[in-house]
């Protein structure tokens, strides 16, 4: 019996030869739905755009989602947390309670500031598409919108300071990081708003080292001291 041509297609061969990607995210199709099965999922709205900076629509991604590459011009959705085993370890380290709290804060902030996201995107799109003669005006308009946003953001952080502190981050650091990230975004060619970096909200970091981290630091310090003693002894022996 002849094998159907569809089973002999190059696409099938490429999939068979594709390396095992343990950090591949397989939850992307469900991001726009109400429930995502990944327990580490942290929703992050993003705006798709043309190469000319024209918005195409808003979608939901994950704060941990990155672009991975397993070959020249061969990309895949990569989880910044790593493999499934590493995601489980991260969840255990952070705690499900903190992850749920972060999601709740994110949802509340988005509900209150959805209009600001649209205004920021529109102002940035206007700047990216502005003629040289109007670029300075567009830049000033974007900067003014960012300042207004940061005032509202600071008010939100202040009103929820206790809950944000439960995530293990300083509320002051959250506002400072937002200001820095948005300043960099204004100068970039990127239309979509950036994801917060790993020091706040997206991947909570304890204010104080955990007992496990203290043990690792102590072991690292001991190894360095032993190496230093070994180097000293070697130099003395050589002299």
CA–CA distances in Å: residue 94 to residues 152, 164, 182: 28, 14, 26
Sequence spans of domains, the chain: 22-209
pLDDT at 190: 84
209: its two tokens:
């080292």
pLDDT at 5: 44
CA distance 38 to 79: 11
Strand bridging mode 65-71 / 43-49? unpaired
pLDDT at 196: 55
CA distance 199 to 122: 28
pTM: 0.64
DSSP 94: H
Q: What is the DSSP annotation of 203-236?
A: S---SS--HHHHHHHHHHHHHHHHHHHHHHHHHH
Do the beta carbons of residue 141 and residue 123 sit within 8 Å?
yes
pLDDT at 213: 34
Report the greatest alpha carbon distance in the chain.
81
pLDDT at 215: 35
**Within 13 A of 21's CA, how many CA atoms are on the CB side?**
20
CA distance 117 to 5: 48
CA distance 177 to 202: 12
CA proximity to 80, closest of 110, 49, 38: 38
CA distance 152 to 166: 21
118: its two tokens:
């649209």
CA distance 31 to 65: 11
pLDDT in tens, the chain (239 residues): 444 444 444 443 344 445 578 899 988 887 877 778 888 888 887 777 666 667 677 788 888 888 888 888 888 999 989 998 999 998 898 888 998 998 899 889 888 887 888 899 899 999 998 999 999 999 999 999 999 999 999 999 999 999 999 988 889 998 998 899 999 999 998 887 776 544 444 343 333 333 333 333 343 344 444 444 454 454 555 55
């Amino acid at each position: 019996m002849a094998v159907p041509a569809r089973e002999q297609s190059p696409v099938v061969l490429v999939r068979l030869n594709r390396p095992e990607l343990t950090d591949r995210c397989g939850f992307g199709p469900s991001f726009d739905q109400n429930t995502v099965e990944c327990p580490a999922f942290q929703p992050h709205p993003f705006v798709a755009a043309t190469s000319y900076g024209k918005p195409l629509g808003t979608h939901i991604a994950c704060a941990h989602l990155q672009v991975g590459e397993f070959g020249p011009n061969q990309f895949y959705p990569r989880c910044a947390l790593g493999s499934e085993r590493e995601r489980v370890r991260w969840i255990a380290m952070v705690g499900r309670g903190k992850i749920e709290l972060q999601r709740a804060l994110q949802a509340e902030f988005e509900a209150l500031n959805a209009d600001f996201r649209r205004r920021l995107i529109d102002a940035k799109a206007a700047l990216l598409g502005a003629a040289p003669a109007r670029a300075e005006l567009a830049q000033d308009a974007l900067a003014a919108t960012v300042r207004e946003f940061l005032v509202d953001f600071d008010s939100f952080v202040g009103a929820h300071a206790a809950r944000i502190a439960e995530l293990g981050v300083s509320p002051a650091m959250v506002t400072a990081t937002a200001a820095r990230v948005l300043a960099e975004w204004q100068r970039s060619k990127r239309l979509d708003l950036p994801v917060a970096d790993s020091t706040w909200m997206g991947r909570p970091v304890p204010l104080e080292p955990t007992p496990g981290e203290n043990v690792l630091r102590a072991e690292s310090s001991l190894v360095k001291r032993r190496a230093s003693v070994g180097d000293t002894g070697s130099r003395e022996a050589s002299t």
